[in-house]
Amino acid sequence: MKYIDLRSDTVTRPTKAMRTAMFEAEVGDDVYGEDPTVNELERLSTEMLGTESAIFASSGTQSNLLALMSHCSRGDEYIVGQKAHIYKYEGGGAAVLGAIQPQPLDFREDGTFDLKQVAAAVKPDDFHFARTKLLCLENTHNGLALPMDYFYKAKSFTEKYGLSLHLDGARIFNAAVKENVSAKEIAKHFDSISVCLSKGLGSPVGSVLCGTNQVIQSARRWRKVLGGGMRQVGILAAAGVYALKNHVERLAEDHENALILAKGLEEIEELQVNYTTAQTNMVFLEAAKDYAVSLSEHLAQKGILIWGDETIRLVTHLDINEEDIRRTILVFKEFFK
Ligand SMILES: *Cc1c(COP(=O)(O)O)cnc(C)c1O
């Protein structure tokens, strides 16, 4: 049975063409800087994000950690969303491995910060306090593409306060496709950007951290320290190169499918579809407690996998087509009949 797996866009499997690219990849020892395919991935990422440099990382978690450890030292602080991945879902790595303190603040509904609130959280230069060094944003955040004009505000804010600006751009290409701009238009405001190759772009593994030469040079050192200096890793980088060349524009299909799904599910009275978040490839909805569990069991029996029970998240991706979406809507409706 083919599963319609809507739990996450991380569940994609490499396509045949991607596997061929991996199979045929030229490789060398990347710790010596001699893997041509890794070098090509880093060059291509630099070009597409418009940054000075880039480094291949094993995961988004590692890539974000490399950025945090490059921007901040022991006793420094980063300002981050209370519900940001980099704060909430990365095992406290910045504290564990970097001796860096987070200052979490609430995101607003649209995924931005109230910059007045951020200003109040920046610590004065006084030995009682950690040294505030970095502001982190996330785009997309829960499927929301942040407003393009907000980046200008965030950038001038960080300039005024002498902070660096990092973007957890795990899904920056979803944001760029949604806004109909190149990823550069988003990336240009940031000192570093972490990009996941293993989400909607469909690579089996890997992220790239893009940024200034200074940040990436430091990240290269920290990646080695963290055990991330890999050898003939061009086998994996080849998937990333393939994804960046072939799987960016098609993200629009995932967004269309998410919208079809949101519209279809909205017809079901018992469900509350959150429309504002259905901008890119995610649909969030609320189901009442009394049938939440039996709903996901019913779907699983029909080969449809979802994440959550009362708050449900459905994610479209490379391995989901419009037919799968129609079937999903049908099976949801069947349950409520
Ligand atoms: C997935 C994700 C990451 C990194 O995840 P890994 O599983 O470590 O690759 C970081 N930020 C966001 C917003 C993500 O969705």
Q: pLDDT by residue (tens digit) across 56-93?
A: 999 999 999 999 999 999 999 999 999 999 999 999 99
Tell which atom from ligand 1 comes closest to the C-alpha of 90: 8
Cα-to-centroid distance, 92 and ligand 1 (Å): 14
Return d(Cα 68, Cα 49) in angstroms, integer.
19
Cα-to-centroid distance, 208 and ligand 1 (Å): 12
Q: Which domains does the chain have, with CATH numbers?
A: 14-246 (3.40.640.10), 250-336 (3.90.1150.10)
How far, CA to CA in Å, does 201 sit from each of 17, 146, 245? 14, 20, 10
Nearest CA to ligand 1 atom 4: 60
- Three-state SS at 5: strand
Ligand 1 pocket: which of 12, 61, 226 to mutate (most atoms within 8 A of CB): 61
Q: What is the pLDDT of residues 281-301, one digit of tens each?
A: 999 999 888 888 899 999 999
| Closest C-alpha among 318, 305, 308 to residue 285 | 308
How far, CA to CA in Å, does 219 sit from each of 19, 63, 230, 297, 315? 29, 8, 14, 44, 31
pLDDT number for residue 115: 98
- Three-state SS at 143: coil
Q: What is the pLDDT of residues 183-192, one digit of tens each?
A: 999 999 999 9
Q: Which residues line ligand 1 (CB under 6 A)?
A: 59-61, 64, 85, 138, 168, 170, 196, 198, 207
Q: What is the mean pLDDT of the chain?
A: 96
